[in-house]
Amino acid sequence: MIKNNFFLAGMISAGIFSNVNVKAQCSPVSEFSENFDAYSCCAMGVVPTCWDSIMEQGGNQIISSSSPASGTSNVYQFGYGKISIVVMPQLTNINAGTHHFKFKVRVGSGSGQLDFGYITNINDMSTFVTLESLTITNNSYDSTSERILTVPATVPTDARLAIRNPGTTWAGHYWDDAVWEPVSGLGVRDNNLKSLKIYPNPFHDVLNIPDAEKISTVTISDVTGKIIKRDIKPEMKLQLRDLNTGVYFINLHYKNGEDRSVKVVRK
């Protein structure tokens, strides 16, 4: 087993003091599954081996034993007006398009927000890039708590996935059962990708999507990988007149577990 070195470093970035729980000597992995049960409440900044925690002074991130989704522990992030970021281990395939990130999330009460994205420098929280902002209203791990998130090929190879509490709400955020796993049905997706016809491309205002009844979710991301539009109940015709001229990726998430992504151009 590789030994991990821990040290708590004070960081001054843009005039804001931050705490960074730094870990060294960790090799990148191709998959992980973490339920946080090897860690206990309630020291500040505790995360699993080869993960990292970054907090502004006054931000809060701990391992909590309060009603986890499974086992005995889950992650807790809080801090109105203060940021905390939990950084996942380095990955060998972060932008390969073969895997997705899955986790379960809830709030203690009210409505919360967490950002899913990546960070390129764990010593500088300003290098965090949001791929998708998640609004969370369920206060238990119910049927709506699981989120499955795709990572576009545009993410830098040396980046690390991360969950950020941006400090925009008073909610306490809990999350558990974090998994980086292969996309199911990937072989079928690859074999049939050329037969997928989204038209017209380039388009003006409307895109036609075949087999819309087989799709659970459509997301649209820009060339940086940031998700800018989500259609929970996709229709055969997507109305996209609100998009600016440019290049976009249409990400189709099928009910059978397949994911497909198509580059389109809006005139």
State pLDDT tens for residues 184-234. 644 333 334 445 678 898 898 998 888 888 888 888 888 767 778 876 667
Torsion angle in degrees (nearest 10) through CA of 154, 159, 160, 162: -60
Count CB-CB contacts under 10 A for residue 224.
Answer: 12
Strands in 259-266's sheet, in edge-to-edge order, are 227-231, 215-221, 246-254, 259-266
Backbone dihedral angles phi then psi of residue 242, each to the nearest 5 degrees: -80, -5
Is the backbone peptide bond immediately before 200 cis, with ω within 30 degrees of 0?
yes
In single-letter form, the type of residue at position 219 comes to T
Structure tokens at 98: 């073969």
Q: Say if residues 73 and 64 touch (Cβ distance below 8 Å).
A: yes
What's the Rg (C-alpha) of the chain?
A: 19
State pLDDT tens for residues 67-122. 999 999 999 999 999 999 999 999 999 988 888 999 999 999 999 999 999 999 99
CA distance 161 to 89: 8
Is the whole model's pTM more than 0.75, yes or no? no
